A and B are shown apart, each in its own frame.
Chain A
Amino acid sequence: MSDKMATREAYGKALVELGADNDKVVVLDADLAGATMTKHFKAAYPDRFFDCGIAEADMMNIGAGLSTMGLIPYCSTFAMFGAGRAYEQIRNSIAYPKFNVKICCSHAGVSVGEDGGSHQAIEDIGLMRMIPGMTVIVPADAKEARKATLALAEFQGPVYMRLARLATPIFEEDYPFEIGKANVLREGKDAAVFACGLMVTEALEAAKLLAAEGIEISVINMHTIKPIDEACVTDYARKCGNVVTVEEHSIIGGLGDAVASGLMGKVNCKFLKIGVNDQFGQSGKAPEVLREYGLTADQIAAKIKETL
């Protein structure tokens, strides 16, 4: 891992790439193009970019309407205002009629940093995965964010994609991206660690720390939270006996619960959820905030060690 790029930046650039190939793609934002990085698309294809103003509910439903005309709208804002404020618009006007709208929200999780708890969505995965028929994707790095952005246009139906503000390492290896198919990044017999988003990098670093102590963990990138890759989850839970989930999200309703649901009644194993423990975030520099909530590699390694 060398270069760094935020998944939102990769998303913005991938939209430009996508726009060149697919003239049905249109992009909507709610006065945050400079932050969600849809500004790149806006600059490249101004006639296919619609700023809806600071009105996220309206934006989601305008997206719904555009989709009925055969267009493929990508609606972007912060996760708090997309999955949060416009939850019911997404639920009733996009997911209920199964409209082909891509909801791509940046600034998710506590790694938003300085803006503080009001802007750190830690419930968005839970909110979105509860909606019947909704696909939920959380890219782990910039390369994956690019691939996911392109894949969404080929996928028919509503999707929620969670993007991060913070620039994080880009994986050197080039992993395939297929919606619903988890990627095993590291093999180890002592624990199966399922992570998503920025926590994949932290889990990989935690694996290195544990390896130095003779503990070998599997690290699995769960880029698709819904539909969860049940085959992979049960397979690695059986193989390792210890299951750990790591997410930059509340431990209620997110990846941990999705993995647990996949295992319940099927595999006997120890289970630990690492995430934000039923509390709000707060201001601080992103690395400090991640540490405050126990989401850094060394903290994750320590928790995994405890549970073994």
Chain B
Amino acid sequence: MNTAELTKVCRQVRRDIINMTANAGSGHPGGSLSAVELMTGTFFTQMRVDPKNPKNPDRDRFVLSKGHAAPCYYAVLAEMGFIDRSEFKNFRQLHSILQGHPDAKKVPGVDASTGSLGQGCSIAVGMALGAKHLKKDTKVYVLVGDGECQEGQIWESFMAAANFKLDNLTVMIDNNGLQIDGTNDEVMSLGDLCAKMKAFGFEVIELSDGNDAAAVMAALNAKTPAGKPKCILAHTVKGKGVSFMENQVGWHGKAPNEEQRQQALKELED
């Protein structure tokens, strides 16, 4: 897939995020929009998965540790063919497979139930460790939020990733700088994330624009040294692609109304 094609898919994913959250009247558009290139890029250019056989034991794995970006995940899974787009209208509704946060029991293509922050990367470490143990060449990708890095368990998992020399693991940090109560720095500063990831034993690729599809693809494709887990520290824009949502704390967990939906969709036209 080339950059233009990927960018096109990303625009569709963004429209789906807007429609899903607007239909549901709730959900998390801001952190879904910031993660679009990372998630879409991972699924469309890296993951060896078969939507017709979602449980293939030799598949690569993806864990959305920041589970509130579920609308982005569902949109990508639909683009890949794991789920039908007709499910979107049921997002966050009773009896839907598309729960507010991903439920592995219900959604084909979802390998871990997430949403309670801080836990997904440990699950990914277990997957990568299991793959190594079973001598499989499975690659494991996990998408972590920056605010989520305030959870202590995240650092336990980072420590374990280096300890077990998981070079089959890629940790992507969606560093949009905002969380519910304000900026990361206002709430609880993460300090120098890049230095911290390096100190924790990761081979770090820092992206100044984590919403640049070409840059994300290059980072995902980049070869890293054997024996070290890889980290893509991506500086992204919360609410990316929708002018009135970009860099606005208020759009973390609020759905657009009808007027806002129409404006957003207009901005996201091909």
| Residues 101-142 of B contacting A (Cβ, < 8 Å) | 103-105, 111-116, 118-120, 122-131, 133-134, 136, 138
Shortest Cβ distance from B126 into A: residue? A65
Do the beta carbons of B127 and A61 come within 8 Å of each other?
no
Closest Cβ–Cβ distance, residue B114 to chain A (whole Å): 8
Instruction: Count residues on chain A whose CB falls below 8 Å from chain B CBs.
Output: 29
Q: How far apart sit A52 and B164, CA to CA, in the bound complex (Å)? A: 9
A215 close to chain B: CB less than 8 A: no
Q: How far apart sit A98 and B163, CA to CA, in the bound complex (Å)? A: 28
Shortest Cβ distance from A65 into B: residue? B126
Do the beta carbons of B131 and A69 come within 8 Å of each other?
yes
Residues in B with CB closer than 8 Å to A58 are 122, 125, 153, 156-157, 159-160
Instruction: Count residues on chain B whose CB falls below 8 Å from chain A CBs.
Output: 36
Residues in B with CB closer than 8 Å to A50 are 129, 164
Q: How far apart sit A98 and B103, CA to CA, in the bound complex (Å)? A: 10
Closest Cβ–Cβ distance, residue B105 to chain A (whole Å): 6
Q: How far apart sit A52 and B126, CA to CA, in the bound complex (Å)? A: 11
Closest Cβ–Cβ distance, residue A1 to chain B (whole Å): 41
Q: How far apart sit A30 and B103, CA to CA, in the bound complex (Å)? A: 28
Residues in A with CB closer than 8 Å to B103 are 96-97
Q: How far apart sit A66 and B112, CA to CA, in the bound complex (Å)? A: 11
Do the beta carbons of A62 and B159 come within 8 Å of each other?
no
A186 close to chain B: CB less than 8 A: no
Which one, B119, B129, B159, B164, contacts A92 given CB within 8 A?
B119
Contact mask for chain A residues 57-70; partner B; CB cutoff 8 A; 1 contact, 0 none: 11011111111111
A71 close to chain B: CB less than 8 A: yes
**The 5 nearest A-B residue pairs measured at CB:** A65-B126, A69-B130, A61-B122, A58-B156, A62-B126
Do the beta carbons of B156 and A65 come within 8 Å of each other?
no
Closest Cβ–Cβ distance, residue B33 to chain A (whole Å): 25
Residues in B with CB closer than 8 Å to A208 are none
Q: How far apart sit A180 and B22, CA to CA, in the bound complex (Å)? A: 47
**Do A53 and B163 form a contact, CB below 8 Å, given A69-B130, A71-B134?**
yes
Which one, B120, B128, B133, B153, contacts A48 given CB within 8 A?
B133
**Do A62 and B123 form a contact, CB below 8 Å, given A55-B159, A92-B116, A97-B103?**
yes
Do the beta carbons of B126 and A63 come within 8 Å of each other?
yes
Which of B61, B123, B157 is the most central at the interface, judged by chain A CB atoms within 10 Å of its CB?
A: B123
A89 close to chain B: CB less than 8 A: yes
Residues in B with CB closer than 8 Å to A61 are 119-120, 122-123, 125-126, 153, 157
Do the beta carbons of A66 and B129 come within 8 Å of each other?
yes
Residues in A with CB closer than 8 Å to B225 are none
Do the beta carbons of A62 and B129 come within 8 Å of each other?
yes
B191 close to chain A: CB less than 8 A: no
Closest Cβ–Cβ distance, residue A90 to chain B (whole Å): 11
Which of A58, A63, A71, A97 is the most central at the interface, judged by chain B CB atoms within 10 Å of its CB?
A: A58
Which one, B112, B115, B120, contacts A68 given CB within 8 A?
B112
Residues in B with CB closer than 8 Å to A67 are 126
Residues in A with CB closer than 8 Å to B159 are 53, 55, 58
A179 close to chain B: CB less than 8 A: no
Contact mask for chain A residues 130-169; partner B; CB cutoff 8 A; 1 contact, 0 none: 0000000000000000000000000000000000000000
Q: How far apart sit A69 and B128, CA to CA, in the bound complex (Å)? A: 9
A183 close to chain B: CB less than 8 A: no
Closest Cβ–Cβ distance, residue B259 to chain A (whole Å): 36
Which one, A55, A65, A70, A98, contacts B123 given CB within 8 A?
A65
Do the beta carbons of A97 and B112 come within 8 Å of each other?
yes
Q: How far apart sit A50 and B164, CA to CA, in the bound complex (Å)? A: 9
Do the beta carbons of B124 and A65 come within 8 Å of each other?
yes
Q: Can you list 7 A-B pairs with a CB-CB distance of less than 8 A?
A: A48-B133, A58-B125, A69-B133, A69-B138, A70-B134, A71-B130, A93-B123
A193 close to chain B: CB less than 8 A: no
